[in-house]
A and B are shown apart, each in its own frame.
Chain A
Amino acid sequence: MSETTHDGTVAVTAAPSPDEGLTAAELAAKYGLSVSGARPSLVEYVRQLWGRRHFILAFSQAKLTAQYSQAKLGQLWQVATPLLNAAVYFFIFGLILHASRGMSRDVYIPFLVTGVFVFTFTQSSLMSGVRAISGNLGLVRALHFPRAALPVSFSLQQLQQLLFSMIVLFVVAIGFGSYPGPAWLLIVPVLALQFLFNTGLALIVARMGAKTPDLAQLMPFILRTWMYASGVMFSIPVMLRGKPHWIATLLQWNPAAIYMDLMRFALIDGYGAENLPDHVWAAAGGWAALFAVGGFVYFWKAEERYGRG
């Protein structure tokens, strides 16, 4: 290694330098050079990420706009897509399969639409999270920024997408007799907690997807299982009546079901607290904190390895 260095640099300047004979590490230390591409400390990493907040927001908005920019109806699809989605689920589960099981129409339709939208929020955050690094290798290899900016940005994109869906949801709720009241204010903490949970989950799968891109192929199946187990189209306690009680409890405590139930409780007049499991807010906060902190640390641990191979 040293021959090339010596031959080359000596040829450029013949003057003997006081640095002659120092090893690379000593030379670096003498002039205060640092190792390129080393992982920053956790605190420093959070600071860097905060410094990139404008990029994170701009990137998520850009992705959101770019999504429908080729369509003739343009940004109208932001609202039309969730509306069509809800209509399809209503057609299948409401009209054909009668999954309402004793819920009145005025409750079931907002119940279903809320479920679909809230679950889609988690689902699409996960789907884009798993490709956040592996699908943006060009960006990771060309520019310097804390890599967590990508999964966070994609989750933020999904949050903005959900805000469009909420417009549809409000119209549906009001159309079926649930009018805005103080309970609607609960939507804000529910969304905030779910966003934290989704981001943490996206960070975890982003690291896993960076190492094993095959995960993106597997994800739709995992997500579909999760969707059917979370009671998106039916009430878990009603559907599992007669089965051992612990199954229903387990399903109700899964984070997706918790956030869906809280949102329904906030929005729908006929969906009271009796439908919620015990300590539901503690669970909602606990899942959010666990995943947000755990996911962030887990992602940071591999920071210097993203972009390899």
Chain B
Amino acid sequence: MAEQNTGQHDGLAGDAGERRPTVIADDLHIVYRVNGAKTGKGSATAALSRILKRGEERGVRKVHAVRGVSFVAYRGEAIGLIGSNGSGKSTLLRAIAGLLPAERGKVYTDGQPSLLGVNAALMNDLTGERNIILGGLAMGMSREQIKERYQDIVDFSGINEKGDFITLPMRTYSSGMAARLRFSIAAAKDHDVLMIDEALATGDRKFQKRSEERIRELRKEAGTVFLVSHNNKSIRDTCNRVLWLERGELRMDGPTEEVLKEYEKFTGK
């Protein structure tokens, strides 16, 4: 696995002459609107007075999560996103995926970027088996593709290592088992631009190693990989470029080592 990985790095360096952009963010702003959080008092009378004082979006609080971020990502890059909690990393990923509408600015992408996350489509009351099919369909795989990869997904998740759990409802799984199944389903698809949001932290150590391997594989198939993580080690292992976000602004953008050094100085590690 590791050899293949370095081999790919060399290939990338060789391609540097012809660099194709895959994602361009141009002065991107994302604003969340939260209902009923304006006055701090959630009482009925406060809500009523908000309705009566009709005006431009009264009673709606705005959260400016991403403020004017611009960057260009190229084919073959693995980009880490770092920053403290609430700095806008996950929001930025969703905006790149086109899942959150931009307030101002634009994101241009090559093909359809996909977020490695299928949790929301799965249902706890259904068996693991049906969840694999449902999750696969939700990600846009065809029934044939799912059938083809079904066994791989089950084997990768290791759900059946301790008996026939795949035919039981997901609510009966331990939290680790459920997380492993979710990751296995999400990682079963090939992507052009792949975005991973702290997925590496799931499962036991054996499974973590397996998923890191799978992510390297996905990187080879994908044009560009984005990885959000608080684990500097997994960023170092997988990324060659890092974007550092702080309070929704791009604080630094550069090679992994340079940015991580500054970031570690900043966080006082």
Contacts and interface: CB of A to CB of B under 8 A. Distances in A.
A36 B253 contact: no
B253 A4 contact: yes
A8 B125 CA distance: 47
Contact of A35 (B71, B107, B133, B142): B107
A24 to B, nearest CB: 3
Contact of A145 (B21, B34, B138, B252): B138
Contact of B255 (A12, A15, A58): A12
Nearest to B51: A214
Interface residues of B, number: 68
B16 A15 contact: yes
B86 interface: no
Contact of A36 (B20, B98, B241, B258): B98
B109 A136 contact: no
A30 to B, nearest CB: 9
B70 A69 contact: no
A37 B101 contact: yes
Interface in A90-131: none
B119 A138 contact: yes
* Residue of B34, B77, B130 with most chain A CB atoms under a 10 A cut-off: B130
A41 interface: no
A15 B14 CA distance: 12
Interface string A1-39: 110110111011101010100011101100111111110
Contacts of A69: 125-126, 169
A224 interface: no
Given A24-B106, A27-B72, A33 B24 contact: yes
A37 B99 contact: yes
A225 interface: no
Contacts of A5: 70-72, 253
Given A8-B71, A33-B108, A35-B108, A307 B99 contact: yes
Interface string B234-246: 0000001101000
Contacts of A139: 120-121, 138
Contact of A1 (B22, B70, B243): B70
A134 to B, nearest CB: 10
Interface string B170-213: 00000000000000000000000000000000000000000000
A65 B131 CA distance: 12
B26 interface: yes
B134 A24 contact: no
A243 interface: no
B140 A27 contact: no
Interface in B214-269: 240-241, 243, 250, 252-255, 258
Given A8-B252, A34-B108, 4 more contacts: A1-B68, A4-B70, A8-B241, A309-B34
10 contacts: A5-B70, A11-B253, A24-B72, A25-B26, A25-B108, A31-B20, A33-B22, A33-B23, A34-B109, A36-B97
